[in-house]
């Protein structure tokens, strides 16, 4: 049986999986693996921190739907990688994370160099944790871990390799562990149920992305309303007549619940029914109406009980449904358009008052809507966590799956810029725009240097008001004062010069500045300065008055005073 150094076998096995790029950082323990990566022709993208490298890998995987690979040293490298693993876990992003065991096998001596209980550390934020301690299991366990990232609910999987194996003789042709073949699902009974109703509603999550073409053909033939989660946006183009875009973070879910009530069934495809995709579980779907299709037994019919929960890939079910010539719908295009308008009106009414572009009365949402209309086809937009994400979600028309990449149920700040780099590395031919706020910029801005070194095409659209806006708004609304929400001061023009990327002030001409930056190529910053909405200041003033009365008069007089303000 042929053998080679373990590091070489790891690299060659990744190549067999179709991997082209690894993300991570160099460290003492992984030097042999990095040399094997270099010699194999695999690309290694080195970030300024493991946190950023992890978010790059998450961005690459989110943009493709295929596993990305992250590798770090143990100890501090593993700890800094945890936010990316958690983001991937909560957002169902396939990710293979490779690190090394610290300390001696089975040793519990105190004070070992960088020693942590890695399996215990990783278990809460991964689908599975594999440990490789023997030479004859390197290939087979890597194979099992790779398939585990996508075989059930997609997510992160950790592999911990004994460091001595990297320099030991390891069999190249070790026995592979093939994933179990899922038993075929007879979907005809459900197809018959869907065909028997006349007012179906489609509810699509990220898991329906690979069925997007079949879903589009289905609704072209049989019009019906289609609602998506944040991660499922673009499963059908949001300007399609059947699309009913609705953002669960904006306002009341009541109008969507009315649409559910008007529907005969809710056909949920690849949706986890997680907090972000249900308005913190305010979405009301009666059990008797729900048909839930998902690839994972841990998802289908679990969070929301379903009359029918089927574990299968959405592509298989939609293919069977599309082949049914008896499928009809009583929804008219006018009715769907009316519901679309009602949902949009409710969303606009529920949005917090948007900041305005500095020096004008133009809201940032209106400015972004106009600017996004100029983007090249198939552009990818990423966001960080913050008010800017709310503005992007309200202004971008998403036309294909995986076009809008946002942190979802973890909402980790520091996602937007690194994730955009991962997407830009993966799709060099597409325009990639990272929309971030002051907080996300301060946390990840040094990755601009990484992007420049990688020669990617990337525009960072910085919406700057000098604050952690969402938290500041909450503080002002609750207490009339704010603390710890002034963003770290970073001059983007000076930073752009320092890292040799372009800079434009897009405050007065956002659309033109964005178009020019994309056309110039390379790494570009477009800064847009914002002014806080007047309503926020007025709310803070009222709250300060209430707080003053509370201190002076106590809660009894306060309740009477509130009725007068």
Residue 302 Cα distances to 273, 282, 413, angstroms: 9, 16, 29
Would residue 176 count as lying in a domain? no
Residue 564 has pLDDT above 70, yes or no: no
Give yes or no: residues 116 and 223 share one domain: no
Q: Does residue 552 fall inside a structural domain?
A: no
> Partners of 436 in the beta sheet?
462
CB burial class (10 A; 0-12, 13-18, 19+) of residue 261? Answer: exposed
Same domain, yes or no: 305 and 196: yes
pLDDT at 180: 64
Residue 165, domain member (yes or no): yes
Provide the angle, in degrees to the nearest 10, between the axes of the packed helices 50-64 and 447-454. 60
pLDDT bin (cut points 50, 70, 90) of residue 168 is very high
Q: What number of CA atoms fall less than 13 Å from residue 450's CA on the CB side?
A: 25
How far apart, in Å, are the Cα atoms of 95 and each of 22, 86, 89, 322, 434?
11, 11, 9, 32, 21
Task: Please say whether the beta carbons of 337 and 224 come within 8 A.
Answer: no
Q: How many domains does one find in the chain?
A: 3
Same domain, 223 and 305: yes
To which residue do tokens 């955009």 refer? Answer: 420
In-domain check, residue 434 = yes
Among 114, 144, 171, the domain boundary falls at 171
pLDDT band at 102 (very low <50, low <70, confident <90, very high): confident
Residue 559: pLDDT band (50, 70, 90) is low
Asked whether 222 and 199 are in contact (CB, 8 A), the reply is no
For residues 417 and 296, membership in a common domain is answered with no
Mean pLDDT, residues 60-73: 98
Residue 539 has pLDDT above 90, yes or no: no
Query: What is the DSSP-derived secondary structure letter of residue 135?
Result: G
Based on the fold, state whether residues 484 and 522 are members of the same structural domain: yes
The proportion of the chain whose per-residue pLDDT surpasses 90, expressed as a percent, equals: 75
Tell me the pLDDT tens digit for each residue of 379-413.
999 999 999 999 999 999 999 999 999 999 999 99
One domain for residues 154 and 279:
no
Whether 563 is in a domain gets the answer no
Residues 28 and 134 in one domain: yes
Cα–Cα distance, 248 to 49 (Å, whole number): 33
Q: Is there a single domain that holds both residue 299 and residue 333?
A: yes
122 and 265 share one domain: no
What torsion, rounded to 10 degrees, do the Cα atoms 442, 444, 449, 450 define?
A: 180
Which residue among 348, 367, 391 closes a domain? 348
Residue 543: per-residue pLDDT: 60
Residue 555 scores a pLDDT above 90: no
Domain contains 554: no
Token couple for 183: 């038993």
Confidence grade of residue 565 (pLDDT, cut at 50, 70, 90): low
DSSP secondary-structure letter at 181? P
Domain that holds residue 196: 188-348
Residues 273 and 165 grouped into a single domain: no
Nearest by Cα to 74 from 30, 139, 132? 30
Backbone φ and ψ for 161, nearest 5 degrees, come out as -105, 135
More confident residue, 323 or 221: 221
Give alpha helix (H) positions in 455-527.
469-479, 492-499, 510-520
Would you say the C-alpha torsion 297, 300, 305, 308 has a positive or negative sign? negative
Of 126, 141, 171, at which residue does a domain stop?
171
Given a cut of 90, whether residue 3 has pLDDT beyond it is: no
Out of 70-79, 173-182, 196-205, 369-378, which region has the weakest mean confidence (pLDDT)?
A: 173-182
Task: Specify the CATH number for the domain of residue 66.
Answer: 3.40.50.970
How far apart, in whole angstroms, are the C-alpha atoms of residue 555 and residue 382?
45
Of 173-177, 213-217, 492-496, which gets the smallest average pLDDT?
173-177
Q: At 349, is the pLDDT very low, low, confident or very high (cuts 50, 70, 90)?
A: confident
Q: Which of the 8 DSSP states describes residue 183? A: P
Q: Tell me: do 136 and 200 sit in the same domain.
A: no
Supply the mean pLDDT for the chain: 91
Task: Find the mean pLDDT for residues 91-96.
Answer: 97
Same structural domain, 125 and 47 = yes
Query: How does pLDDT run across 466-486, given as a tens digit for each residue?
Result: 999 888 888 888 888 889 998
109 — pLDDT class (breaks 50, 70, 90):
low
Residue 59 to residue 281: CA distance in whole angstroms: 26
Under the banding of pLDDT at 50, 70 and 90, the label for residue 294 is very high
Confidence of residue 488 (pLDDT cuts 50, 70, 90): confident
Non-local (6+) Cβ contacts of 555 within 8 A are none
543 located within any domain: no
**509 burial class (0-12, 13-18, 19+ CB within 10 angstroms)?**
middle
- Has residue 540 got a pLDDT over 70? no
What gap in Å lies between CA 464 and CA 357, rounded to an integer? 10
Q: What is the pLDDT of residue 183?
A: 59
Residue 420 lies in a domain: yes
Mean pLDDT of 260-289: 95
**Strand-pair category, 523-531 with 356-357:** antiparallel
Q: What is the CATH number of the domain that holds 289?
A: 3.40.50.1220
Residue 188 is predicted with a pLDDT of 78
Q: Is 353 helix (H, G, I), strand (E, B) or coil?
A: coil
Q: What's the pLDDT tens digit per position in 207-227?
A: 999 999 999 999 999 999 999
Predicted TM-score (pTM) above 0.85: yes
């Amino acid at each position: 049986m042929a053998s080679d150094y373990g590091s070489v076998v790891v690299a060659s096995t990744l190549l067999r999986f179709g991997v082209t790029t690894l993300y991570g950082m160099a460290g003492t323990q992984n030097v042999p693996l990095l040399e094997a990566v270099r010699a194999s022709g695999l690309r290694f993208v080195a970030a300024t921190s493991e946190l950023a490298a992890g978010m790059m890998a998450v961005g690459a995987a989110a943009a493709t739907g295929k596993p990305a690979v992250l590798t770090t040293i143990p100890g501090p490298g593993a700890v800094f990688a945890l936010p990316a693993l958690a983001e991937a876990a909560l957002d169902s992003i396939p990710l293979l994370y490779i690190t090394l065991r610290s300390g001696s096998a089975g040793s519990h001596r105190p004070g070992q160099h960088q020693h942590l209980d890695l399996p215990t550390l990783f278990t809460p934020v991964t689908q599975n944790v594999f440990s490789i301690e023997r030479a004859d299991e390197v290939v087979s366990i890597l194979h099992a871990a790779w398939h585990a990232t996508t075989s059930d609910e997609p997510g992160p999987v950790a592999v911990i390799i004994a460091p001595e194996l990297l320099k030991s003789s390891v069999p190249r042709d070790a026995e592979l562990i093939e994933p179990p073949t899922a038993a075929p699902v007879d979907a005809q009974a459900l197809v018959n149920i869907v065909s028997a109703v006349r007012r179906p509603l489609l509810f699509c999550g990220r898991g329906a992305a690979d069925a997007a073409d079949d879903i589009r053909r289905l609704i072209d033939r049989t019009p019906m309303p289609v609602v998506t989660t944040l991660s499922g946006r673009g499963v059908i183009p949001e300007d399609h007549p059947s699309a009913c875009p609705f953002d669960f973070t904006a306002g009341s879910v009541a109008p969507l619940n009315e649409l559910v009530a008007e529907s005969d069934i809710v056909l949920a495809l690849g949706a986890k029914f997680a907090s972000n995709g249900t308005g913190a579980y305010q979405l009301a779907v009666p059990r008797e109406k729900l048909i839930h299709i998902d690839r994972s037994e841990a998802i289908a019919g679990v969070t929301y009980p379903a009359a029918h929960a089927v574990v299968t890939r959405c592509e298989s079910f939609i293919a069977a449904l599309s082949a049914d010539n008896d499928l009809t719908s009583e929804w008219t295009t006018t009715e769907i358009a009316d519901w679309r308008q009602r949902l949009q009106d409710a969303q606009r009414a529920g949005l917090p008052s948007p900041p305005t572009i500095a020096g004008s009365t133009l809201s940032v949402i209106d400015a972004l809507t106009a600017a996004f209309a100029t983007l090249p086809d198939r552009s990818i937009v990423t966001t960080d966590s913050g008010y800017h994400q709310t503005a992007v979600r309200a202004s971008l028309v998403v036309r294909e799956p995986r076009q809008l990449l946002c942190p979802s149920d973890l909402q980790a700040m520091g996602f937007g810029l690194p994730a955009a780099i991962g997407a830009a590395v993966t799709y060099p031919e597409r325009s990639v725009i990272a929309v971030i706020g002051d907080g996300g910029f301060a946390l990840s801005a040094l990755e601009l240097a990484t992007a420049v070194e990688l020669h990617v095409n990337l525009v960072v659209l910085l919406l700057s008001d000098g604050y952690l806006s969402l938290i500041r708004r909450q503080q002002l609304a609750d207490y009339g004062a704010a603390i710890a929400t002034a963003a770290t001061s970073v001059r983007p023009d000076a930073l752009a010069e320092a890292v040799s990327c372009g800079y434009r002030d897009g405050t007065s001409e956002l659309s033109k500045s964005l178009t020019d930056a994309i056309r110039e190529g390379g790494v570009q910053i477009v800064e847009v300065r914002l002014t806080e909405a007047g309503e926020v200041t007025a709310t803070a003033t009222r709250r300060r008055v209430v707080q003053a009365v509370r201190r002076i008069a106590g809660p009894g007089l306060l309740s009477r005073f509130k009725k007068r303000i």
